[in-house]
């Protein structure tokens, strides 16, 4: 009786089911670089170099991999303008803009709630 998926809670999908394709989607979105890249594209299309500067600490290899995966999943589009020098733009699809909402809330929550942990803040609050 369709134990593999479909508990009927939301739609036909269940992220808790190992075989459900939405598990793979969750695995892709629930990832540091994906969350940051999607957030960086929320305000409009960005170029490779812009993203690399924004996502501090990412290497070009990993940025390419991340963008390719998101492109293959329909989260963003890659457009090449054969100008000189080469110009490549990445932009969120409507699906990507949808995913950006919960991911943005997650990023915001992390930034606003880290103080409650034992981690040291970037700016000490009394110095």
Partner DNA sequence: GGTTACTACTTTCCTTTGGGAAGCAACCAG
Partner DNA sequence: CTGGTTGCTTCCCAAAGGAAAGTAGTAACC
Among 4, 49, 46, 26, residue whose Cα is nearest residue 102 = 26
15 binds a second copy (CB under 8 A): yes
Q: What residue 61 binds from a second copy, DNA, none (CB within 5 to 8 A, per partner kind)?
A: DNA
| Of residues 10 and 68, the one with the C-beta less far from DNA | 68
Task: Look up tokens 């995966």; give the residue.
Answer: 69
Q: What residue 88 binds from DNA, a second copy, none (CB within 5 to 8 A, per partner kind)?
A: DNA
Cα 64 from Cα 72, distance rounded (Å): 12
| Cβ pair 14, 22 in contact under 8 A | yes
**C-alpha dihedral (33, 39, 44, 49), degrees to nearest 10:** -30
38 binds a second copy (CB under 8 A): no
Q: What residue 102 binds from a second copy, DNA, none (CB within 5 to 8 A, per partner kind)?
A: a second copy
Fill in the per-residue mask, 51 to 70: x = in contact with DNA (CB under 7 A), - = not in contact: ------xxxxxx-xx-----
Cα 49 from Cα 88, distance rounded (Å): 9
Note the residues at the interface with DNA (CB under 7 A).
31-33, 47-50, 57-62, 64-65, 78, 84-88
């Amino acid at each position: 009786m369709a134990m593999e998926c479909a508990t009927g809670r939301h739609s036909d999908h269940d992220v808790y089911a190992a075989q459900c394709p939405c598990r793979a989607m969750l695995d892709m979105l629930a990832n540091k670089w994906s969350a940051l890249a999607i957030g960086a594209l929320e305000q409009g299309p960005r170029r490779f170099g812009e993203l690399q500067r924004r996502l501090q600490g990412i290497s070009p290899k990993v940025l390419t991999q991340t963008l390719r995966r998101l492109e293959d999943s329909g989260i963003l589009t890659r457009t090449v303008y054969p100008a000189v020098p080469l110009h490549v733009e990445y932009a969120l699809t409507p699906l990507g803009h949808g995913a950006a909402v919960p991911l943005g809330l997650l990023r915001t929550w992390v930034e606003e709630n880290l103080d409650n942990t034992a981690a040291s803040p970037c700016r000490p609050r009394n110095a």
